[in-house]
Structure 1
Amino acid sequence: MCDVAHMFLLGQYRMLRLRCKAKNGTHLMQGLTHQSCVQELKDKIEELTGIPCDVQKIMVGYPPSSLDLRNGEAHIKDYPIKSGDTLIVEEEKNKPKPQTQTTVTKGPSFDPHPVVERRVVPADNSCLFTSVHYVMEGGVYDPACASEMRGLIAQIVASDPTAYSEAVLGKSNEDYCAWIRRDDTWGGAIEVSILSKFYRCEICVVDTQTVRVDRFGEDAGYTKRVLLIYDGIHYDPLQKVVPNSDVPPQTVFSATDDIILAEALELADEARRKRQFTDVNRFALRCMVCQTGLVGQKEAREHAKDTGHTNFGEV
């Protein structure tokens, strides 16, 4: 069996990755094989991207080269396409879109389309915990939840000192539990992983600097998925909303919904183009304990190791 195709929206392009779990490599995407005809492939691309077959420009390889897919009866095996490849699909603007029969309506209709947006939370050292609580509670913002979330993580870590050893935590189990309970410490990958297991939910963190998704709990078989966006030092929750509507935001999605990942990546790419991220290797920090000036997370880690100071502020 093969996975559903993953779709990444980057600007005007649609990038489709053909993935397959079959060892013989015969399957391309769900419902297609190398024996399928070109028209079936184009129909599947139209289903995933919304680009009509007649105006699809399909490219493969690097640098990308266009495929001549005008013969809809030809087989996919006759073209240089294999499982694992990335197809780049562009709408050809100079081609007229296929005409559809118009119908007369009695008046204007409004069909609001849900959009993915960032829900900004305070930069108060607890943005990760506030963001995870927000998405897991279906869009309920509670600024007082951070203390409870920190305590929950401390209890989980303390209950399993073997799994959460000093090698994993970077400090002793006891020291970590005391550290994470403080309201001036930041959460990161360790805490996201712990919360993913606790909620039995895949937590996807979309990075605006690299435009990638880190999927915590990806292989655990969870049925739910939530998304956060990360700019190098700050987390915000992502939600799908219907503009100008009283419909509550959607924050929990199916773990098989890869369209939401594509939309989140498009949002991250837009933030990257606007340079809405912090370069953690170059940003200026100050130790709030001894007032030492530092540059980047590497110097901050070394300073913390040498002095035990862990309270930093961005300059």
Structure 2
Amino acid sequence: MTSLILKVKTKTGQRVLKGLTSDSTIKELKQELSVISNIPVSRLIILSGYPPKKFDLSGDSKLLADSGLSSGEILIVEESQEPVQEVSTDPENENEECKEKLNNDLPGFLMKQIVPADNSCLFTSLNFVLSGILRDSSEVAPYMRQIVSHSVLSEPDTYSEAILGKPNDEYATWILNEKSWGGAIELSVLANYYGVEVAVVDTVNGIINRFGEDQKFPHRVFLMFDGIHYDPLYLETSQGEKIQTIFSADDERLLEEALQLGIEAKSSRQFTDVNKFMLKCLECNVFISGQAQAQQHAQSTGHTNFGEV
């Protein structure tokens, strides 16, 4: 039996539905959605998937495990003008009028773009949200590393050894190495350099960390962090024709939607356990398990370059 976490969108807003499992029935799903949407069970229309298609609500006793529904999906709830007949829906003959209404009501869906785990995922992800184009890390990371290195050197009081964990000039050299990982320091520097707030959805803790928020920048971009890896987030229109990666910093609705993504990912354990993930010291080729061992290895050897395994 698997727990299901579903995002439900209605005309009055959205919320996360918990409590159902793979052993729950279609009848139980309809009852939950009826309560959330304040729509009678007999008038429920549910759309799921991408592009959204009618979800088959026929067969009250059918298990959700057999319905094709999986945890993390978005369900869009609409009300039929007439009681819905419980018949299986053929995707080829779906209600075009309903689909058109959906496209008019929803601006799009917040999605994650997967980028390579090559020690430069932060830089690749940030370039994607700034440009809307996924480029190879070799094209973008060296330039961003140079920005960070120069900023650290030019502001020694702000980026002191206490903040960096190593002498200022040593850190400025270290970050230029293609195998060095970026993190909060790099995000802070790059947010200020590009004049944009960077909102990072932390799926380990189910929170959002915002870099550059105190500068009151007019625009915001989104990244997702799973404990060791960064991916960019973007808004895809319901028509799938274009994407948007830069948003108004005043858009609280999208900020809340990004937070819900983080909470859902945390609930479904879509993050890396930093106490167990495997690393390799790129200076002596020793394999290391977890963050604590990596820190101990760095302290005892002075080695600081680690790669994901």
Matches of 1:136 and 1:146 in 2, distance apart?
Answer: 13
Q: Does 1:221 align with 2:216?
A: yes
| TM-score (norm: length of structure 2) | 0.67
CA contact (8 A) 1:203 1:215 kept: yes
Where do 1:114-133 residues align within 5 Å? 114-133=108-127
Correspondence for 1:179: 174
Deviations 1:198-228 (A, max 9, x none): 1221111101122111111222211111110
| Aligned equivalents of 2:241, 2:39: Cα separation in 1 | 38
> Are residues 1:156 and 2:99 paired?
no
Q: How many residues align?
A: 233
Q: 1:127-180: per-residue Cα shift (whole Å, max 9, x none)? A: 00111111112x122221011010111111111112111111111111111100
**1:310 match: secondary structure:** coil
Give 1:165's aligned amino acid: S
Aligned pair in 2 of structure 1 residues 102, 188: CA closer, same or farther (>3 Å)?
same
The residue type paired with residue 166 of structure 1 is E
Match of 2:281 among 287, 294, 299: 287
3-state SS of paired residue (1:256): coil
Alpha-carbon distance in structure 1 between the residues aligned to 2:145 and 2:120: 9
**What does the per-residue CA deviation read over 1:77-128, in whole Å, with 9 as the maximum and x for residues that have no partner?**
xxxxxxxxxxxxx97259545x99969xxx7352434101001111110000
Unaligned runs of 5+ in 2: 16-32, 44-78, 83-95
Task: Identify the structure with the greater helix proportion.
Answer: 2
**Paired amino acid for 1:264:** A
Which of 265, 268, 287 is the equivalent residue of 2:259? 265
Q: Deviations over 1:262-283 (max 9, x none)?
A: 2222323333344321111222
Aligned counterpart for 1:207 among listed residues 184, 202, 207: 202
Of residues 216, 226, 235, the one that matches 2:230 is 235
- Structure 1 runs (4+) deviating above 6 angstroms are none
For the aligned residue pairs, the C-alpha RMSD in angstroms reads: 3.1
- Give the aligned partner of residue 301 of structure 2: 307
| Paired AA for residue 117 in structure 1 | M
Kindly provide the amino acid, as one letter, of the partner of residue 13 in structure 2: T
Pairing of 1:182-201 with structure 2 (within 5 A): 182-201=177-196
**Aligned residues: percent identity?**
42
Instruction: Work out the CA distance in 2 between the residues paired with 1:222 and 1:101.
Output: 43
The alignment's TM-score, normalised by the length of structure 1, stands at 0.66
Tell me the equivalent position of 1:42. Answer: none
